[in-house]
């Protein structure tokens, strides 16, 4: 699952670490610091898997999602 962190960024690990806006998260990477965390509601989805996960988690608030996934990009 791949997605881009949107502004203002994302504090993770109890606030001890901060992923800046623009950071691309790849949960397939074993060293990914956000590997077991839920995708943020405002993340920009970079693949279908992340888009489907956002819909599963936040489908009732679809208007707040960071944008749909577009296979043409």
Q: Which region among 6-10, 19-23, 59-63 has the lowest average model confidence (pLDDT)?
A: 59-63
What's this model's pTM, rounded to 2 decimal places?
A: 0.83
In the chain, domain spans: 2-64
User: Taking a C-beta distance cutoff of 8 angstroms, is the pair 67, 40 a contact?
Assistant: no
In 3D space, the residue among 16, 60, 64 whose CA is nearest the CA of residue 43 turns out to be: 64
pLDDT one-digit tens code per residue, 20-57: 999 999 999 999 989 889 999 889 999 999 999 999 99
pLDDT band at 59 (very low <50, low <70, confident <90, very high): confident
Phi–psi pair at 58, nearest 5 degrees: -125, 20
């Amino acid at each position: 699952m791949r997605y881009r962190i949107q502004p203002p960024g994302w504090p993770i690990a109890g606030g001890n670490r901060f992923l800046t806006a623009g950071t691309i998260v790849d949960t397939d990477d074993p060293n990914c610091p956000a590997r077991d965390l839920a995708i943020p509601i405002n993340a920009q989805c970079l693949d279908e898997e992340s888009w489907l996960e956002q819909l599963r988690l936040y489908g009732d608030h679809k208007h707040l999602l960071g944008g749909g996934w577009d296979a043409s990009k």
